[in-house]
Amino acid sequence: MSELMGVINLDHELDLLNELTYFRCGAAVPFAGRYRLIDFVLSNMANAEMKDIAVFVRRKYRSLMDHLGEGRPWDLDRKRGGLFVLPPDWNDSSDTSHGDLQHMRNNLDFFKRGKAKYILHSGSQHLCKVDFCEAFNYHKETGADVTLIYTKVDQLEPEHDPCLRLEIGEDGFVSNIHHEKDHPNVYMEMFIMEKKFFLEQVRHCIAHGDSYFFRDAIQKNHHNMKIAAYEYKGYHAVINSVESYYKNSLELLCPKNYTSLFKERPVNTKIKYEAPTKYLDSASVNNSLVANGCVIGGSVENSILFRGVKVQKGAKITNSIIMQKCVIGENAVIENVILDKDVNLPPDRMLVGDVKRPFVIAKSSTL
């Protein structure tokens, strides 16, 4: 799919995951035992064989850059094109752009150098397995100015509240874009546009003092554009709060969700060389996701263990998410808790959170 180049724009994503986003942006939050949230959109792009991908970042991007590196796990460490992580470094004194338009204005070279004629613009909060090739074919077939990717949500949850909704007319095109909370057509923050048209819109927005590309160029302008809507029907989750993070993580313990997220096309992530997980004689593990490098001597139920977690004998973990390299001491009890990386819980301690509002412990905390 060399016709399509990708932009992962993190500029508007607020870091709302409390302790989990104190020191990292939302896209870099660890997920499902071994991934970061950005891996899903990036893998979808890589699976569609997109060759040029830019990531627009503004703050707290150090851990993201460490994770992405040169893009090798996604086969994006290329001589021509590949992955570009573009931090806010702009020094043009004639620049009058604001908001996310700053990224577009100051990274024009990325768009111009890429040979692709179309761009796919996305965020990182909507976890899904969209086939971008199919969406792109739909865009070309309909001859629209822009195609928005959306999904119909049967059961709306609080995490859908901030999402935009698409009103779709009888002709199949988008007739309105709004924030009506009870509307099921959730816009997944992914659009496809011809690059030339996109750059014209960017220029127009900057000339008019705008500051948010999607809102100012597309949403406000929807009467003047032919906007197609591509419906996605597979696995979908929105991660924009601790509650939605916790809930959607534990829902992966349902085999249907696990299979639809992981078993078709691969999701790639940074490679770590951990040994396979070791279950000791005293281990008791049920209904859990476990990454490599763990040593489990205690009991683990309805939980997710990231890479390299040690659960000592007699420890009991229930309904919890334990991130990389945490050590859970002997006879410690954990329930409804999210432990960020490198937390060492001494023996016999007890941490219990609420079923709906888990207790979150920040990275590297000593307790």
Partner 1 sequence: MKKKEVVAMLLAGGQGKRLKGLTKNLAKPAVYFGGTYRIIDFPLSNCSNSGIDTVGVLTQYEPLVLHSYIGVGSDWDMERKDGGVFVLPPHEKEDGSSWYRGTADAIYRNMKFIEQYDPEHILILSGDHIYKMDYDAMLEYHKEKNADCTISVINVTLEEASRFGILNTNEDLSIYEFEEKPEHPKSTLASMGIYLFKWDVLKRHLYEDERNPDSSFDFGKDIIPLMLSNQKVLYAYPFEGYWRDVGTVQSLWQSNMDLLSDNPPLDLNDPTWRIYTRSPNQPAQYIAPDATVTNSVINEGCIVHGNIDHSVLFYGIEVGEGSVITDSVIMPKVKIGKNVRIHKAIVSENLVIEDNTVLGQDRSNEDEILLITEEELSSLNGQGVSVSTNN
Q: Which residues bind partner 1 (CB under 8 A)?
A: 32-34, 73, 253, 255, 258, 261-262, 266-269, 271-293, 295, 297, 304-305, 308
Q: Which is nearer to partner 1, 46 or 163 (CB)?
A: 46
Q: Which is nearer to partner 1, 231 or 274 (CB)?
A: 274
Which amino acid appears at position 339 of this protein?
L
Q: Which is nearer to partner 1, 186 or 291 (CB)?
A: 291
**Closest approach of Cβ 123 to partner 1, in Å?**
23
Task: Dump strand ranges (E) for 76-184.
Answer: 82-86, 118-122, 126-128, 146-152, 165-168, 174-178
Torsion of CA 112, 80, 10, 195, to 10 degrees: 30
Q: Which is nearer to partner 1, 252 or 343 (CB)?
A: 252
* Closest of 54, 73, 67 to residue 26, by C-alpha: 67
**Closest approach of Cβ 298 to partner 1, in Å?**
12
Q: Are 125 and 39 in contact (CB under 8 A)?
A: no
**Closest approach of Cβ 258 to partner 1, in Å?**
6
**Closest approach of Cβ 319 to partner 1, in Å?**
13
What are the residues whose beta carbons fall under 8 Å from the beta carbon of 311, sequence distance 6 or more?
Answer: 283, 294, 295, 296, 297, 298, 300, 305, 317, 322, 328
Q: Which is nearer to partner 1, 279 or 359 (CB)?
A: 279
**Closest approach of Cβ 168 to partner 1, in Å?**
34
Q: Are 303 and 285 in contact (CB under 8 A)?
A: no
Length of the chain: 367
Q: Are 173 and 224 in contact (CB under 8 A)?
A: no
Q: Which is nearer to partner 1, 90 or 262 (CB)?
A: 262
Q: Are 21 and 31 in contact (CB under 8 A)?
A: no
Q: Residue for token digits 């969406």? A: 135
Q: Which is nearer to partner 1, 26 or 297 (CB)?
A: 297
**Closest approach of Cβ 309 to partner 1, in Å?**
11
Angle at 343 between CA 318 and CA 353, to 5 degrees: 35
Q: Are 357 and 335 in contact (CB under 8 A)?
A: no
Q: Are 336 and 359 in contact (CB under 8 A)?
A: yes
Q: Which is nearer to partner 1, 68 or 166 (CB)?
A: 68
What does the alpha-carbon distance between residue 19 and residue 161 come to, in Å, rounded to a whole number? 22
Tell me the two tokens of residue 302.
């309805």
